Amino acid sequence: MAKCDICEKTLSHGNQISIARSHVSRRATRTFKPNVRTIKAMVDGQPKRIHVCAKCLRSGKVKRA
């Protein structure tokens, strides 16, 4: 399962509305997946492979090994 080890971001659910929007009641459930990458980072002074979302990588919350 896609899950960030830093911020605990996981799958979220919502509705997908039809493009035509001719009928308001036409909705389908869909899943939003986080943009998770597997990187080698320093954890407790040791290099370790962890799953990190792109937002945590950009913000500098993770130090790469």
pLDDT tens digits, 16-47: 887 776 666 778 899 999 999 999 999 999 99
Q: Is residue 3 part of a domain?
A: no
Q: Is residue 2 part of a domain?
A: no
* Residue 61 in this model has a pLDDT that exceeds 90: yes
Q: Residue 60 has what pLDDT?
A: 94
> pTM of the full predicted structure?
0.76
* Pairing status of strand 27-32 against strand 12-17: antiparallel
Q: Is residue 1 part of a domain?
A: no
The residue segments making up the domain with residue 47 are: 12-59
Q: Residue 21 has what pLDDT?
A: 63
Average pLDDT, the chain: 90
Q: Residue 8 has what pLDDT?
A: 96
Distance CA 56, CA 39 (A): 12
